[in-house]
Structure 1
Amino acid sequence: MNTENTGCLTAVARGIALVVVVPLRLLWDAFAYVMGFLWRWLLAPVGRALGWLIEHLLVIPLRWLGRWVLAPVGRALWWLVHTLLLIPLRWLGERVLLPVARALWWVVDLLLVTPLGWLWRHVLAPVARVVGAALAWAWGIAGRISRAVGRALRWTLWHAVGRPLAWTYRVLLTPVGHWLRAYVLRPATEVARAVRAATREVWRALFGGPRRPGRGTTGGPGAYSG
């Protein structure tokens, strides 16, 4: 791009910028002038007047009230509470309640804590140890007796019930079962099988066999399908 074209573009851009920026700058300067005028001749005096009024009508009276009324009243109230409540309560605690509590604890310790401690150390603890040892010894003896009784019951039940049942099963029931299976059940099964086979042969001879797959006719009497 040559120098002449660049100069033309720069001139056009500057012209557009002047057209846009100059009105905005004029508006900004006017706004700043108006605000400065208002601040100098209106807002600042009004603010100073309000500050003077708040200072003289609120802050100074409150400060005077706190210094000359509230603070003396607070000190007087604290003196009254301290003199009429705290000092009597402290005296009552130190002179009455604490001695009474010490006396009560001395009585409780003398009549209850010390006798109970002596009773526990010299009576209850030894008795508890003796009873515990006796219970442990009795528990062991009971376990031995229980095991002996269990062994005796097992021996008795075996010789009274188990051994006769085992002998009966081994000597009587087993041979009888073998005999029944060999001479009753097996022949009966063979007879039943022969009867079923004969029945099927008779049925086929009289009514024919069942329909074979692929045939459209039904078998009648004499249509034997062997």
Structure 2
Amino acid sequence: MESLNPPSQPRQPEGCLVVAIRIPVRIVVLVLVVPVRMAWDALVVIGRFLRDTVFRPLGRALLWAGRALFVWPFVGLWRYVLVPVGQALAWLATVLLVVPAGWLYRYVLTPVGHAVALLGRAVGAGLAWVYTRVLRPIGHGVLWLLKGIGAVLAALGTGVYTAFAWLGRYLFVVPARWLYTWVLTPVGHAVAWCVRGLGWLLGLLATGIGLTLYWTARVLFVLPAVALWRWILAPVGRVLAVVAREVGEALGHAWRVAGRISRAVGRALGTLFRWIFLEPVRWVYRTILTPVGHVIRDAVLRPVAQGVRAVGRVAREALTAARDTARQARADFRRMLVGEPRRPAAVDRREPAARDTRTLGSSTTALTKD
């Protein structure tokens, strides 16, 4: 069966420089990290102790104080002041504003609006009659007159436009076209050929200058920079990378070792504290305080508790007797003033007076009764 764990990668061989750097770095780092780790563990223990014994109770007290000072007063103010006042104001607004406004809208504004709408419809009908019978015929006549004037003006404008177009064509367009075809076009072709030749010369000159500057910069800057990177910076960077990696691994290893040392020191201090303080206190509590407490409980507290219970029982019985006596005296005084209360008259009932259930064998049932 194959193992579930993936096969470990083979460790790459390391040079003597790595081995020579690793051991001194780990020793120095361990010496520097152990006090830091022990101080860190001590701070962690102190922080947890302060969190459990000081900050958490203080936070709960501050939370309770904040609720008592800010939340509960505002809740009481909202529940017992603002809500009733708001409900009263809403009721007043309903009675003083909403109901009168509804009455005003229903019995005043609605009839007035209906009257205004009826008047508006009557005025609209009159204006429609005036538009249909008066303004529309006048408008049609004015429109027919304007169409005739427009037709005359259009005929005159067409003739004038044709004359001006013919004059513009033979005075401006035809001479301009001849000038463009036989003068400007050959001159433009000659200028373009000269500009292309000048551009080719400038391009050739720029290419030569660019190649010269390229090789000059390559020889003066690029090749020295490549040599500096390849033969100086790269080896130094590899050495610094090895040193940084070893320092990081040494820090991790030293931190773990310092944690174990700190844990051992903490356990030793805890054991000393238990032997010096806790065990003597536990022994005193078990061998001295517990028997003394049992003796005090059996000899003092239990008799006192029994006596207190007996006194309480006697006091309760005395209170019960006094209460019964007072009730009996009050009943006698009421009987002396108003007399005996009337007793209800006996009624002949068909049902049995006793609480026993009816059976078929007794004579109290409806079937066997005479």
- TM-score range relative to shorter protein: 0.5 to 0.7
Structure 2 match to 1:130: 141
Matching of residue 57 in structure 1 with residue 69 in structure 2: yes
Structure 1 match to 2:124: 113
Pairwise CA distance, 1:8:
6.5
Please give the residue correspondences for 1:8-87 in structure 2 after superposition, counting only pairs within 5 Å: 10-87=22-99
Cα deviation digits, residues 16-65 of structure 1 (max 9, x gap) = 22112212212211221222222222222221111111222322222122
The residue identity in structure 2 corresponding to 1:51 is L
Identity %: 34
TM-score of the superposition, structure 1-length normalised?
A: 0.55
Structure 1 140/44 Cα, relative in aligned 2: closer, same or farther at 3 Å? closer
Pairwise CA distance, 1:117:
0.8
Matching of residue 102 in structure 1 with residue 114 in structure 2: yes
Matches of 1:42 and 1:75, distance apart in 2: 46
Cα deviation digits, residues 147-171 of structure 1 (max 9, x gap) = 9xxxxxxxxxxxxxxxxxxxxxxxx
When the two structures are aligned, how many residues end up with a matched partner? Answer: 146
TM-score of the superposition, structure 2-length normalised?
A: 0.35
Please give the residue correspondences for 1:186-201 in structure 2 after superposition, counting only pairs within 5 Å: none
The residue identity in structure 2 corresponding to 1:126 is P
The residue identity in structure 2 corresponding to 1:116 is L
- Secondary structure (helix, strand or coil) at the match of 1:74 reads helix
Matches of 1:54 and 1:94, distance apart in 2: 54
Indicate the RMSD between aligned Cα atoms, in angstroms. 3.3
Moved more, 71-80 or 56-65: 56-65
Q: Which has the higher contact order (CA 8 A, sep 6+)?
A: 2
Larger Rg: 1
- Secondary structure (helix, strand or coil) at the match of 1:55 reads helix
Name structure 1 gaps, 5 residues minimum. 148-226
- Secondary structure (helix, strand or coil) at the match of 1:75 reads helix
Name structure 2 gaps, 5 residues minimum. 1-12, 158-370
Cα deviation digits, residues 105-134 of structure 1 (max 9, x gap) = 211321x22111111012111121022213
The residue identity in structure 1 corresponding to 2:142 is V
The residue identity in structure 1 corresponding to 2:127 is L
The residue identity in structure 2 corresponding to 1:117 is A
The residue identity in structure 1 corresponding to 2:90 is W
The residue identity in structure 1 corresponding to 2:88 is A
The residue identity in structure 2 corresponding to 1:128 is G
Matches of 1:133 and 1:71, distance apart in 2: 77
Matches of 2:136 and 2:72, distance apart in 1: 80
Structure 1 131/16 Cα, relative in aligned 2: closer, same or farther at 3 Å? same
